[in-house]
């Protein structure tokens, strides 16, 4: 399991394929704040709720200067199906090798129905305009998390 990020850390660089197979890099967003959220799997109830919450609040977040990128271990084809079925507007990228998930401390041991398993730890990292971690939220709940982020960021 990798180390969790904390405020002031440099956000690990990444380049991952989006739902259309185009590369998306954290560096593409230099000069803007980025909310990078990590979720276990597309097309599941909790992940759908979270992605829809981000989509529903995307205009508010964008107006406040934030871009939103969702990261899961899914392949681009599944991300495209997820985006299209749920009318998602957030950028979704896939990390099947789990390298970015591990670099952000969003993959490792977690409890699932009382058992310890290896998997994606639902997490959200807010990166500032200079590529530094502004906030790091780990083990978040899918429901209500976006509202909490908006409140915590003072938007």
CA distance linking residue 19 with residue 52, whole number of Å: 16
Average pLDDT over every residue of 50-57:
95
DSSP state of 15: E
pLDDT at 78 over 60: yes
Instruction: Return the residue matching tokens 């530094």.
Output: 132
Element (H, E) at 48: helix 45-56
User: Which long-range contacts (C-beta less than 8 Å, at least 24 apart) are formed by 142-145?
Assistant: 142/39, 142/46, 142/47, 142/49, 142/50, 143/46, 143/49, 143/50, 143/53, 145/50, 145/53
Q: What is the model's pLDDT at position 82?
A: 96
Give which of 147, 124, 103, 102 is closest to 34, Cα–Cα.
124
Choosing from 47, 58, 92, 126, the catalytic residue is 47
What confidence category does residue 83 fall into, taking pLDDT thresholds of 50, 70 and 90? very high
Q: What is the model's pLDDT at position 2?
A: 64
CA distance linking residue 145 with residue 50, whole number of Å: 8
More confident residue, 59 or 116: 59
pLDDT at 1 over 60: no
Q: What is the model's pLDDT at position 114?
A: 84
Active site residue 52: no
């Amino acid at each position: 399991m990798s180390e969790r990020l904390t405020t002031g850390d440099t956000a690990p660089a990444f380049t991952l394929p989006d739902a259309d197979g185009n590369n998306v890099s954290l560096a593409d967003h230099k000069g803007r704040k980025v909310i990078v959220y990590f979720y276990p799997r597309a097309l599941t109830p909790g992940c759908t709720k979270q992605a829809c919450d981000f989509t529903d609040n995307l205009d508010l977040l964008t107006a406040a200067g934030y871009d939103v990128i969702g990261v899961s271990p899914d392949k681009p084809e599944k991300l495209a199906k997820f985006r299209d079925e749920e009318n998602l507007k957030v950028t979704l990228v896939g990390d099947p090798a789990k390298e970015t998930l591990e670099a952000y401390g969003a993959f490792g041991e977690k409890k699932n129905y009382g058992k310890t398993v290896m998997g994606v730890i639902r997490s959200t990292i807010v990166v500032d305009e200079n590529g530094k971690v502004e906030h790091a939220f780990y083990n978040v709940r899918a429901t209500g998390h976006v509202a909490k982020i908006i409140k915590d960021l003072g938007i």
